[in-house]
Amino acid sequence: MTLGVSIGAFKQRLPSPERALPGRATPIAITDRHHVHGRPLTHVPEGCAVAVFGMGCFWGAERLFWSVPGVETTAVGYAGDITPNPTYAEVCTGLTGHAEVVRVVFDPARCPYPHLLRRFWESHDPTQGMRQGN
């Protein structure tokens, strides 16, 4: 599928609903296990909490969190909701209204939330808007 726009051309502003890509009704299929450590992606163990961080490129953001002691699992995805069930290529156009994010499932007894926030703020430059990479 050719999208007809340069990747990232519209990333400095959110698209209007009329300009957003149409997407699809069916969610993109995902694996049920994390590729690096093999733990389930969707299960949240008892006593654990979930945090979602948007830091630009989700691959770099995920890598920052998956090895933190007390983090059970991580998963990448999108936040925002103009285009339903977007693909990676569609999100990269800036025409979906989504941001790349990482979902972090963690045990607050072993990894307090402020520890995750510290990792986030030490690795993220909020002045870069929607163009920060890893």
What letter represents residue 11's amino acid?
K
Query: Any bridge partners for residue 99, and if so which?
Result: 79
How many other C-beta atoms are found inside a 10 Å radius of the C-beta of residue 129? 11
Q: What is the pLDDT of residue 53?
A: 93
- The residue ranges of every structural domain in the chain are 49-125
Q: What is the pLDDT of residue 116?
A: 97
Residue 131: pLDDT band with limits 50, 70, 90: low
Residue 8 pLDDT > 90: no
For 90, phi and psi rounded to 5 degrees?
-65, -45
Select the more confidently predicted residue: 92 or 73: 73
Residue keyed to tokens 């090895």: 67
Summarize pLDDT for 27-81 with one digit per residue, the tens. Answer: 988 888 988 889 998 899 999 999 999 887 777 889 999 999 999 999 988 888 7
Q: 58-86 burial string, b = 16+ CB within 10 Å, else e?
A: beebbebbbeeeebbbbbbbbebebbeeb
Tokens of 14: 């959110």
Q: How many residues does the chain have?
A: 134
Show Cβ contacts of residue 20 under 8 Å, excluding neighbours closer than 6 positions: 82, 83, 95, 96, 97
Summarize pLDDT for 103-119 with one digit per residue, the tens. Answer: 999 999 999 999 999 99
48 is catalytic: no
Q: Which member of 48, 57, 92, 111 is catalytic? A: 57
What letter represents residue 40's amino acid?
P
Alpha-carbon gap, residue 91 to 93, rounded angstroms: 5
Q: What is the pLDDT of residue 1?
A: 42
Domain 49-125 belongs in CATH node 3.20.20.70: no
Give the pTM: 0.80
